[in-house]
Chains A and B, each alone.
Chain A
Amino acid sequence: MIEQALKGRRNYRIWSLALLVVAAGGVYASALQSADGFVHTGMGNNAIWGLYHAQLPFLASIAAASLAILVPGTLQKHSFLASLAPLAAFLGATASAMSLFFIAADLGMQRRILTLLLNPSPGAPASWQVPLLLLFLALTLTVGWAQVGAMRKGVKPPVWIRSAVMVAIPAGIALPVISAFTLAVVPGSELWTSALLAPRLMASGVAAGAGIMLLMAVTAEQLAGFKAGEETLERLAAVGAWAGLVFLALTGLDAATAMLGNMTADTAALALLYGNSPFAVVSWFALFSGTLSTGLLLVPSLRRSFIAAASLGSLLALSVWLQSGLTLILAGQLKDASAAAGYAPAVPELLLTAGIWAGAVLLMTVLLKITASAQLEREGL
């Protein structure tokens, strides 16, 4: 199976090489950070968490969202999502692996990383993050691999896949919940202590996950001859649109409650997010692009065009990444407007973040290629 990943056309090799270069930049930045600590980042007393931590809620939600495709795709008979199930499994695995890398990157004492497993403190939500991510990574990777293997041989996927998916369901759902709870333990941080944060992360994850899968499936279709089927892609786009709508509604409800109730602490936090902080531009852009892409994806004719659906899906994913990751963490940790000027990511921090993303995209490319060629092989039989 692995050899499929190495064969390929010229474009594929250039793309992989480019990703490798960016990933290598990440390795370099990581070495720099191991040697000198966080002095090469923009973090400090006014920005306790930075770009690394800002990826975590988003990635947890994407990992969980892969279940929305994986579960019906593997447990239901004749599901229209069956062809996408391996892609969903690989997306879940990649998102969990990325989370683990970002958690590691954000530790001041990286060589004590095993302490997170050896000395957990079960009362602290953050203790559950790493064990759950490892479990979910193992399950989704195995399931995806077994499915592709079966596809290649032209046989039905092994039955144990169903049990593995059953175990993955609670683990996956727990990921965004735990992620929300790690933020909820911070008293006085009004963007984080909302009970709607967990459902919001889940909905936003499904929206962004569908968007990313649309992009993946359409790219694989154009370049590697993968076939998901027209109807499947249209329905996937619909899943993204509806989830996007739920996400926007929950965000709106949270804000409306704060404003109608004149909850001063909450409205002050919203003012930092959308008003008097450097993140306001990003927040408004994210809200606007999320509304736009969700709205357009609700139009059936746009959903049926592969290119339009993939572009709108990517825009939706970008909007969610900004809202459920970047601004949620960076604006959420601000105590007041004067602290807002405190954070600008430094170059090594950007390199390391880009490096982890590039590594993940490379991994997804390889897995996608293996899936596509397995499908082609089966058809060739």
Chain B
Amino acid sequence: MMKNDRREFIRKAGMGLLAGMGAASGLLTGGGFERTTSAAWAAVPGEEGLRWGMLFDTRRCPEGCTLCIESCHHTHNVPDIASLEGKIEWMHKENGRELLGSLCASTAAVPALCNHCAEPSCARACPTGSIFRRTDGIVAIDYHRCVGCRSCMQSCPYGEVSFNWSDPRAALKNPTVEYPTRQRGVVEKCNFCSDRLVRGKKPSCVEACPEGAISFGNLNDPSSEIRRLLESSETLQRKPELGTRPSVFYII
């Protein structure tokens, strides 16, 4: 049973991939991808254990709302830098079409963050292993080891790594004591709230969303809420064709 569930889940999860490829080839249209087989995806063996994932139901995400972003940035002492060249973001909202490709019918802004990829290209680029994938699927950064070479930033195809071009502490108005601040010269990004998970709390953005639009849970557990949603809905991932296997999904 468990095995079947996983298959089913993998099949559903694979739709994002197929949808992405379909969109790129221009062959598949809306209803087409229910009928496609997911052989390419199913060839990847199922995984045991924990893999944290997130799902946004963008139908519930109102235009103009930025509560999740504000909560995240406050919780994690993300500096508020206005200039585009120096900006630091763990979470942001972008045009859905640009984020998810032509399969996304809407151009309304949808939230984006690090995808905690199962095959993270950022980690493959880091010469010091300072950005790495943990056994629970979270892609984490060791701020004390990072040498600031920005290879990870260059390699993340989603632009989800930010670099501290200037001193971030100078741009913090109201720092949170529970989470460390960073220094100039290192990179940072969403940590999937690993700091809160160890304390048994849900991610800050999930808690802050008044619409309940964000689900968070173990992608490898067939009974988790996120799995139920993935199995009952059509979902998209960002650039699945690159093979990074993102752990963040979107219902449009």
Residues of A bordering B, CB below 8 Å = 37-39, 43-46, 48-49, 103, 106-110, 112-113, 115-116, 119-121, 123-124, 126-127, 129-130, 182, 185-189, 333, 335, 342
Tell which of A48, A119, A333 has the most Cβ of chain B within 10 Å.
A48
Which of A109, A182, A187 has a CB less than 8 Å from the CB of B151?
A182
Say what secondary structure dominates the interface of chain A: loop
* A residues in contact with B130, CB < 8 Å: 115, 119
* A residues in contact with B129, CB < 8 Å: 119-121, 124
Q: Are A121 and B149 in contact (CB under 8 A)?
A: no
Bound CA–CA A129/B167 (angstroms)? 28
* A residues in contact with B132, CB < 8 Å: 121
- Given contacts A48-B153, A185-B155, A188-B157, whether A109 and B124 have CB atoms under 8 Å apart is no
Q: Are B155 and A187 in contact (CB under 8 A)?
A: yes
Q: Which residue of A lies closest to B86 (CB)?
A: A44
- Shortest distance in angstroms between B144's beta carbon and chain A's nearest beta carbon? 9
- Given contacts A45-B85, A121-B126, whether A37 and B147 have CB atoms under 8 Å apart is no
Tell which of A127, A186, A335 has the most Cβ of chain B within 10 Å.
A186
- Shortest distance in angstroms between A100's beta carbon and chain B's nearest beta carbon? 13
* B residues in contact with A112, CB < 8 Å: 145-148
Q: Are A109 and B154 in contact (CB under 8 A)?
A: no
Say what secondary structure dominates the interface of chain B: loop
- B225-252 contact mask (Cβ, 8 Å, vs A): 1 or 0: 0000000000000010011100000000
Q: Are B127 and A124 in contact (CB under 8 A)?
A: yes
Q: Are A108 and B148 in contact (CB under 8 A)?
A: yes
Bound CA–CA A127/B123 (angstroms)? 12
Q: Are B121 and A49 in contact (CB under 8 A)?
A: no
- Given contacts A44-B165, A342-B85, whether A185 and B124 have CB atoms under 8 Å apart is yes
* B residues in contact with A335, CB < 8 Å: 159
- Shortest distance in angstroms between A40's beta carbon and chain B's nearest beta carbon? 11
* A residues in contact with B84, CB < 8 Å: 44-46
Bound CA–CA A209/B137 (angstroms)? 46
Ordered by A's residue number, 22 sampled pairs between the chains whose C-beta atoms are within 8 Å are A44-B85, A44-B86, A45-B84, A45-B86, A107-B147, A107-B149, A108-B164, A108-B185, A109-B146, A109-B147, A115-B128, A115-B145, A123-B124, A124-B123, A124-B129, A126-B125, A126-B149, A129-B127, A185-B124, A189-B154, A333-B154, A342-B85
Bound CA–CA A65/B200 (angstroms)? 57
Q: Are B147 and A38 in contact (CB under 8 A)?
A: no
Bound CA–CA A45/B86 (angstroms)? 6
* B residues in contact with A127, CB < 8 Å: 127-128
Q: Are B125 and A182 in contact (CB under 8 A)?
A: yes
* A residues in contact with B149, CB < 8 Å: 103, 106-108, 126
Across the A-B interface, give the 3 residue pairs with the lowest CB-CB distance, nearest first: A108-B148, A44-B85, A108-B185
Bound CA–CA A103/B146 (angstroms)? 14
* B residues in contact with A342, CB < 8 Å: 85
- Shortest distance in angstroms between B101's beta carbon and chain A's nearest beta carbon? 13
Q: Are A120 and B153 in contact (CB under 8 A)?
A: no
- State whether the Cβ of B97 lies closer than 8 Å to any Cβ in chain A: no
In the complex, chain B residues 84-134 whose Cβ is within 8 Å of any chain A Cβ: 84-87, 121, 123-130, 132
* A residues in contact with B163, CB < 8 Å: 45, 48, 108
Q: Are A186 and B128 in contact (CB under 8 A)?
A: no
- Shortest distance in angstroms between B168's beta carbon and chain A's nearest beta carbon? 11
Q: Are B85 and A46 in contact (CB under 8 A)?
A: yes
* B residues in contact with A113, CB < 8 Å: 147
Q: Which residue of B lies closest to A186 (CB)?
A: B155
Bound CA–CA A48/B87 (angstroms)? 12
- B26-56 contact mask (Cβ, 8 Å, vs A): 1 or 0: 0000000000000000000000000000000
Q: Are B127 and A121 in contact (CB under 8 A)?
A: yes
* A residues in contact with B186, CB < 8 Å: 108-109
